[in-house]
């Protein structure tokens, strides 16, 4: 089962100006359900552009994006946003939690926005927080949590709506090695057990090696290895 498919993706910035940059030059990527793929890219290689296109936050100039088999190119903005909310989770190195809400609420709210009943949203949130070891911190606001704890909440939030696809950009970049290991382990458990497909940009070659495949973004194209 294909979770995410990118075909012939091209992206140019500043086209037809002296500053023209051809960032993506024909990206083909198929991510199956239950697969974790590492994306390794030097800074400036186009990693953010690629993740934003894959997550329907940005449009390619050429090429096709499919999520769960559905081609999204021709859809209107409202439909694309609905697919993004239901099927895509994002985690960044620096979380963007809502400061006025507790950890639990930060994981519950996206589920309510997606139409989940509040009791089941709460249960799902507590179970996710438990899986990364921060259930005891559920009622704290982000400011009362350490950076690593905040990042674990952000990870739970990204997975709250059971997305098909998780797009992660250095998700463990600001965590200490033990916490990084635990968060990565929880992610891989979800990939194996629920069929989540994960595309994880990382500079950590040890984590990359624990995923199913490693892809490098070089000169606007993906190469394996
Ligand atoms: P990465 O995440 O790998 O650092 P990005 O995808 O952010 O790379 O950017 C790739 C290249 O495209 C960089 O040279 C960056 O300066 C350029 N770039 C990114 N976004 C824009 C934009 N909106 N307009 C013009 N150039 C951009
Ligand atoms: P919400 O449901 O809170 O309105 P959106 O549908 O706007 O959120 O966005 C869904 C996901 O996309 C969120 O996880 C958010 O982190 C991410 N996101 C939205 N806009 C951007 C952006 N401009 N850059 C990076 N990530 C974004």
| Cα distances (Å, whole numbers) of residue 24 to 7, 32, 44, 60, 163 | 12, 22, 11, 9, 25
pTM here is 0.89
Q: Is the CB of 18 under 6 A from ligand 1?
A: no
| Cα distances (Å, whole numbers) of residue 53 to 42, 49, 99, 128 | 18, 6, 28, 27
Ligand 2 centroid from CA 18, angstroms: 32
Alpha-carbon span 164 to 191, nearest angstrom: 10
Ligand 1 centroid from CA 24, angstroms: 10
Q: Residue whose CA is closest, atom 14 of ligand 1?
A: 44
Closest atom of ligand 1 to 217 CA is 3
Backbone angles phi, psi at 112, to 5 degrees: -65, -40
Ligand nearest to the CA of 166: 2
The one-character DSSP state at 152 is: H
Q: Is the CB of 14 under 6 A from ligand 1?
A: yes
Q: For each of the chain's 225 residues, which pLDDT tens digit applies? A: 999 999 999 999 999 999 999 999 999 999 999 999 999 999 999 999 999 999 999 999 999 999 998 999 889 999 999 999 889 999 987 778 999 999 999 999 999 998 999 999 999 999 999 988 999 999 999 999 988 889 899 999 999 999 999 999 988 887 888 888 888 988 899 899 999 999 999 999 999 999 999 999 999 999 998
On whether ipTM exceeds 0.95, the answer is: no
Q: Is the CB of 49 under 6 A from ligand 1?
A: yes
């Amino acid at each position: 089962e294909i979770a995410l498919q990118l075909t012939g993706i091209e992206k140019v910035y500043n086209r037809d100006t002296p500053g023209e940059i051809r960032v993506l030059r024909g990206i083909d990527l198929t991510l199956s359900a239950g697969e974790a793929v590492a994306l390794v890219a030097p800074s400036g290689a186009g990693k953010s552009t690629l993740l934003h296109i894959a997550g329907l936050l940005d449009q390619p100039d050429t090429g096709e994006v499919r999520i769960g088999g559905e081609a999204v190119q021709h859809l209107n903005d409202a439909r694309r946003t609905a697919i993004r909310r239901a099927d895509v989770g994002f985690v960044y190195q620096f979380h963007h939690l809502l400061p006025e809400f507790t950890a639990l609420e930060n994981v519950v709210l996206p589920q309510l926005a997606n139409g989940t009943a509040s009791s089941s949203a709460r249960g799902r949130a507590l179970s996710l927080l438990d899986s990364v070891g921060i259930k005891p911190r559920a009622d704290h606001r982000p400011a009362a949590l350490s950076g690593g704890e905040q990042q674990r909440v952000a990870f739970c939030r990204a997975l709250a709506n059971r997305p098909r696809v998780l797009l992660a950009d250095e998700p463990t970049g600001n965590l200490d090695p033990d916490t990084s290991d635990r968060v990565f382990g929880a992610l891989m458990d979800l990939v194996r057990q629920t069929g989540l497909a994960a595309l994880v940009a990382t500079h950590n070659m040890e984590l990359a090696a624990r995923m199913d495949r490693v892809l490098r973004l070089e000169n606007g194209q993906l190469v394996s290895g």
